Amino acid sequence: MTVRTRLAPSPTGKMHIGSIAMALKNYAFAKKHQGQFVLRIEDTDKEREIEHGVKEIIKALEAYEIEWDEGPKKGGPYGPYIQSQRLKIYQEYAQKLIDKGLAYYCFATKEELEEMRQKALEKGLPPRYDGRYRDYPLAKAKARIAAGESYVIRLKVPQDQEIVFYDLIRGEIKFNSNEVSDQVLIKSDGYPTYHLAVVVDDYLMKITHVMRGEEWISSTPKHVLLYQAFGWPMPTWVHIPVFLNPNGKGKMSKRKGDVAALRFLEKGYLREAVLNFLMILGWTPKDQREILSLDEYIKEFDPKDLSHNSVAFDLKKLDWLNGIYIRRLSDAQLKQRLKPFIPAGFPQEKLDQVIPLIKERLVTLTDFDKLTYFFWQEVKPETKQLLKKATPELVSQQLEETISALNQLASFDHKSIETAIRHLQEKHQWHKRQYFMMLRLAVTGEKATPPLFETMSVIGQEKVIQRLNHAKVLVTQT
């Protein structure tokens, strides 16, 4: 058997990071078994579809470099891969069920459906269709259709039948068919419902493993009934736990922050770090290591080893991983990755000097600005901080002598700067912590920066002395 998996997103909004996680699992499992990973666009919900929704999906998958074997832009033997282009196929298969007596035309109006809903709620029952057209004569139904009356096609769900299916993570799952309403297969606008389209497409596209979110477990009995009605073999079901919000409470949603897949890249996370993070959410390799390449993941991933439980989307872990991946880059590679995050006014001639100084401090690429602004923008040290643990007279003397020493340097490299400043500190026996922190604040406006002497060298002699003079004015004015 050739393993074939799929991702079947709907173009109803920006692609969720959870969809990238699902794509990653389907892709890796197919590649592990030398199979195919299929991208199919499920665009039958026209009311919720957004403009350019399909482009958004493709853009996100391409940004994370998850490549599909068949689907939009690539084609394949089982296309088209966009459901709105397959309407005749669904209608033909729905008609086959009608011909077999396993589906029927339903003419219930919106008012009738609302009345059924209210009656069920009054009895404390879940709202459901009451089956009033289930045994309606076919000839009469066709006459009403010929007269132009609106209708839907529903599945004739067998009554009081045990529905059993096996889930690779959870094992055997059972439902009673009485819990399943006579679901709509074809809507009044001629479009299929998700349930019919997904079953027909998965069968015709020869999907062997359906890996999707656990929220679809309650729908799976409907799909099992359709497979049985058509007489088709079922795929292997794998229902994967959803991600919880970072606080561990509730399904990860837009209301709790950014969940769009592309936003993580826009916020300065590296693609490979995000993928690694998604790999180890709810799954770990046998040796428990947390740093994995995509090739290693493909080799080791098995969906049956996924956790039964939902896991929190731990942003601290993602930050940690991103830092590791940043530091694995060469300076030249990091320079390329940083390009979209470098402010327009940043002096490019300083970039090669700055990158080695901030590399260890970057958590995301967006940190570049806050870690480098003092290399080229004006700084505003606080007088109170400059005078911490020292008198105005002492700080004024320290600044004056430092300015004098730095002015005399023929070369403003970090070793020359360090030698001059350490000589002053030792000569006067100034308190190291007080003196060096005061200089750091005067030159950068920050308490924490890359190494002080290297930072001063990159800022440049003229600008450093300017800033020290400015600090001296602030101190003498107190």
CA–CA dist 62, 298 (Å, integer): 18
As given in the structure block, the two tokens for residue 405 are 């020493």
Residue type, 439: L
Tokens of 442: 């005067």
Cα 254 to Cα 15, 314, 452, distances in angstroms: 11, 16, 42
Mean pLDDT of 114-122: 89
Q: Note the pLDDT tens digit of each residue in 38-55.
A: 999 999 888 888 888 899
Domain 378-476, classified CATH 3.80.10.10, yes or no? no
Q: pLDDT over 90 for what percent of the chain?
A: 89
Confidence class for position 254, pLDDT limits 50, 70, 90: low
Please name which of 292, 262, 464, 300 lies closest in space to residue 381, comparing C-alpha atoms: 464
pLDDT higher than 80, residue 255: no
Is residue 236 within 8 Å of 209, Cβ to Cβ?
yes
Cis peptide before 80 (omega within 30 of 0): yes
DSSP labels for 422-456? HHHHHHHT--HHHHHHHHHHHHHS-SS-S-HHHHH
Tokens of 100: 């077999």
The encoded tokens of residue 407 equal: 């002015």
Tell me: the pLDDT tens digits for 58-116? 999 999 999 999 999 999 999 999 999 999 999 999 999 999 999 999 999 999 999 99
Give the separation between CA 74 and CA 428, rounded to whole angstroms.
73
Q: Which of 311, 451, 341 is nearest to 443 (CA)?
A: 451
Average pLDDT, the chain: 95
Residue 256 has pLDDT above 70, yes or no: no
Q: What is the pLDDT of residue 124?
A: 85
| Closest listed residue to residue 225, CA positions, set 172, 165, 168, 136 | 165
Q: Provide the whole-model pTM.
A: 0.92
Instruction: Give me the active site residues, please.
Output: 254
Handedness of CA 244, 249, 252, 258 (dihedral sign): negative
Q: Once rounded to an integer, what is the mean pLDDT over residues 329-344?
A: 97
Angle at 249 between CA 275 and CA 257, to 5 degrees: 55
Higher pLDDT, 334 or 124: 334
Q: Per-residue pLDDT averaged across 225-241, rounded?
A: 97
Residue type, 341: F
Q: Tell me, what's the pLDDT at 257? A: 55
Distance, CA of 378 to CA of 463 (rounded, Å): 10
- Write down the pLDDT at residue 246: 87
DSSP secondary structure of 8-51: ---SSSSPBHHHHHHHHHHHHHHHHTT-EEEE-B----TTTPPT
Domain boundaries, the chain: 1-71+241-328, 378-476
pLDDT above 80 for 122 = yes
Sign of the Cα torsion 269, 275, 278, 279 reads negative
Quick check: 393 pLDDT over 90? yes
Question: 1-71+241-328 has which CATH code?
Answer: 3.40.50.620
The pLDDT tens digits for 173-187 are 999 999 899 999 999
Given a cut of 60, whether residue 169 has pLDDT beyond it is yes
Q: Given a cut of 80, is residue 375 above it in pLDDT?
A: yes
Q: Which two tokens stand for residue 126?
A: 């879940």
Residue 252 has pLDDT above 90, yes or no: no
Of 410, 441, 433, 406, the residue nearest 421 (C-alpha) = 406
Q: Average pLDDT in the 438-445 region? A: 97
